[in-house]
Amino acid sequence: MKNYLRFLLVSLVGFMGIIACNDFLNVKPRNKYLNSQVFNSESGIKSQLNGVYMGMAKKSLYGGNLTMSTLEILAQQYKIRSQSHDWFQYATYSYDESEVMATMDNIWSDAYRLILNINDFIKSLDNTEGVISERKSKLLKGEAYGLRAMLHFDLLR
C-alpha cells in the first residue's frame, strides 16, 4: 500500500511538473525587442528605421571612413608623400597591410550588416497591415530601398 501511494505521489508530482513548465521556455529578453514587439506600433517601426540611420553614422561608415578620411585618401583628394604619415598606406593602396585590411573589413562588414537589417525591415514592413497606413508603409519601404541602394553603390565605389 505504501509503495502504491509513493508511486501515485511521485507520478502526480512529475505530471504537475510537466504541465507547469509550458511557459518556461517562452522567455522574452528584457534588454532586446522581438520583431513582433517592434512592428506592432508606428513608433516602433520608425525607431527600427532610425536604428539603420544610427548604424550608418558609425565611424566605420559615414561617420568617418566613407566621408572624411579613408574614401578621401583613396580618391587622392590629398597628396601624402611622407612615408611616416598615418595615411600613407591608404594613399599607396597597400591593401595587404593589417591596418588598411582591418579598416576595409569594418567598412564591408558594417555595411552588409546594415543591408541585412534593411532587408529584414522591408520584409517585416509587409506584415504591418492595420498598424500604419498603406501610404506610410510605401513611403518607409521606398526610403529603405533607397538606403539599401546607396549602401550597395558606395560599396561598389
35-156: CATH architecture: Alpha Horseshoe (1.25)
Residues 98-133 have pLDDT tens digits of 998 999 999 999 999 999 999 998 988 887 777 788
What's the predicted TM-score (pTM) here?
0.72
Contact residues for 10 (Cβ-Cβ < 8 A; gap 6+): none
Closest listed residue to residue 115, CA positions, set 46, 52, 38: 52
Residue 54's pLDDT band (boundaries 50, 70, 90)?
Answer: very high
Residue 88 has which C-alpha cell? 600613407
Residue 3's pLDDT band (boundaries 50, 70, 90)?
Answer: confident
